[in-house]
């Protein structure tokens, strides 16, 4: 029996499904987390062979000892994974330290975690990337902005989500930003990029050991995550009913360029909303960033609803058998709307439920750790047509 260590299997809470499907395929599933065992979801408890509680997942020595304990008790570890961006580097360090070769190693992190390090791999397969500058001093930034013009986007070169992302529109804002980061204690390196007027389209796929997709889908982010986080906007995105061929082509090329194997991935691309000199024409696809893990939060569930399938099983089948017999069924748009408690919406909670009825597949509160990017109350609907999807967003986002 093969051994799989799942790092922090309790968050997000829906990740118990990954563990369940691994166990159903005959894996020993060994969990490491900082939550007390008796407070784990019963479904997660039932999916784990054993669970090792550490005081802090941030303490590498503790997590290291947990892995060593499992090796001593169960033997060779075949897989170690969290499927979580936050732990990507720690996963790689543990694999490297314990010679677990079935995933990314510490030496891979520069190209898959640093936005500047990603760009050559896109360019190698002909996918354009925005011009960039590693933030240094005022003079260096001014020189770059003289080339690309305002506004510019600034964010950590190694960052998760849209936190600490800024849109600088003039020199006063640039000066303020540079003063602000002078006082930071994180030591973060920032990347400055030319602003691109575009809509984010993703390529979401489960990739086998030959860098081939066994499942593909994708989403469209209707509002900028940066704006959602910084302005507390309503969060809206949807899984596409059918993945466009140009996104599929770009995604597959990116998989090959980055050497992705045995992973669930979430690659983000820009589809240009207008012609952009040096990048392309309106409608063209250009690079944004790679994420070597599933799209966050409840996105895997949304993929299931959109494709009438089970991505948790497909992923576990890829891990255990390098293929799956599970096919996608009828396709839909799966539309997410994350509303804010402080906003006064035209349709109340009761009115939304009354209007959309059984088309609503999930209505829940958003976990506090995810609410910055996803809103406080989420409504997810499965819809057959683009017209239905568009009206849904009018209804859910309109304010009094």
Asked if 118 and 289 count as a contact pair (C-beta separation under 8 A), the reply is: yes
Kindly report the number of other CB atoms within 10 A of residue 59's CB atom. Answer: 12
Residue 60 structure tokens: 């590498």
Burial call 242-268: b when 16+ CB within 10 Å, e when fewer? ebeeebbebbbbbbebbebbbbbbbbb
The greatest distance separating any two alpha carbons of the chain, rounded to the nearest whole angstrom, comes to 61
- Residue 390 pLDDT: 94
Is residue 390 classed as helix, strand or coil in its secondary structure? helix
Asked if 398 and 382 count as a contact pair (C-beta separation under 8 A), the reply is: no
Is residue 92 classed as helix, strand or coil in its secondary structure? helix
User: pLDDT tens for residues 50-66?
Assistant: 999 999 999 999 999 99
Asked if 156 and 188 count as a contact pair (C-beta separation under 8 A), the reply is: yes
Asked if 53 and 33 count as a contact pair (C-beta separation under 8 A), the reply is: yes
What percentage of the chain reaches a pLDDT higher than 70?
96
How many angstroms from the chain centroid is the CA of residue 185? Answer: 26
Query: Which candidate, 81, 101, 103, places its Cα nearest to that of 29?
Result: 81
Model pTM? 0.94
pLDDT in tens, the chain (400 residues): 899 999 999 999 999 999 999 999 999 999 999 999 999 999 999 999 999 999 999 999 999 999 999 999 999 999 999 999 999 999 999 999 999 999 999 999 999 999 999 999 999 999 999 999 999 999 999 999 999 999 999 999 997 665 688 999 999 999 999 999 887 767 789 999 999 999 999 999 999 999 999 999 999 998 665 565 556 678 899 999 999 999 999 999 999 999 999 999 999 999 999 999 999 999 999 999 999 999 988 999 999 999 999 999 999 999 999 999 998 899 999 999 999 999 999 999 999 999 999 999 999 998 887 888 788 999 999 999 999 999 999 999 999 9
* Sign of the dihedral through C-alpha 206, 211, 216, 220: positive
């Amino acid at each position: 029996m093969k051994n799989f260590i799942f790092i922090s299997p309790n968050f997000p809470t829906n990740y118990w499904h990954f563990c369940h499907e691994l166990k159903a395929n005959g894996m020993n599933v060994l969990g490491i987390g900082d939550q007390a065992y008796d407070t784990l979801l019963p479904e997660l408890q039932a999916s784990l062979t054993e669970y090792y509680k550490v005081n802090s997942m941030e303490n590498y020595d503790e997590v290291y000892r947990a892995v060593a304990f499992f090796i001593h008790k169960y033997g060779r570890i075949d897989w170690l994974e969290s499927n979580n961006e936050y732990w990507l580097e720690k996963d790689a360090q543990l694999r490297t330290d314990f010679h677990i070769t079935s995933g990314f190693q510490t030496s891979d992190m520069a190209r898959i975690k640093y936005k500047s390090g990603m760009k050559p791999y896109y360019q190698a397969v002909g996918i354009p990337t925005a011009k960039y500058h590693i933030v240094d001093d005022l003079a260096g930034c001014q020189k770059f902005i003289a080339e690309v013009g305002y506004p510019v986007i600034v964010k950590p070169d190694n960052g998760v989500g849209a936190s600490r992302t800024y849109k600088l529109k003039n020199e006063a804002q640039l000066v303020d930003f540079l003063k602000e980061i002078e006082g930071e204690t994180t030591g973060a390196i920032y990347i400055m990029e030319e602003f691109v007027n575009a809509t984010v389209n993703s390529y979401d796929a489960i990739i086998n050991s030959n860098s081939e997709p066994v499942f593909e889908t994708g989403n469209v982010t209707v509002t900028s995550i940066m704006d959602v986080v910084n302005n507390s906007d309503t969060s809206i995105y949807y899984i596409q009913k059918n993945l466009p061929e140009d996104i599929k082509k770009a995604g597959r090329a990116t998989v090959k360029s980055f050497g992705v194997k045995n992973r669930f991935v979430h690659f983000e691309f820009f589809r240009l909303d207008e012609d952009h000199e040096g990048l392309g024409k309106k409608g063209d696809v250009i690079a944004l960033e790679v994420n070597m893990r599933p799209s966050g939060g409840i996105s895997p569930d949304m993929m299931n609803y959109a494709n009438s399938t089970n991505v948790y099983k497909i992923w576990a089948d890829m891990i255990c058998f390098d293929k799956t017999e599970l096919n996608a069924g009828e396709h839909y748009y799966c539309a997410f709307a994350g509303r804010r408690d402080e906003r006064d919406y035209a349709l109340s909670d009761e009115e939304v439920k009354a209007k959309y009825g059984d088309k609503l597949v999930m209505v829940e509160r958003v976990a506090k750790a995810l609410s910055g990017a996803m809103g406080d109350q989420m409504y997810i609907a499965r819809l057959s047509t683009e017209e239905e999807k568009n009206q849904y967003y009018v209804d859910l986002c309109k304010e009094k």
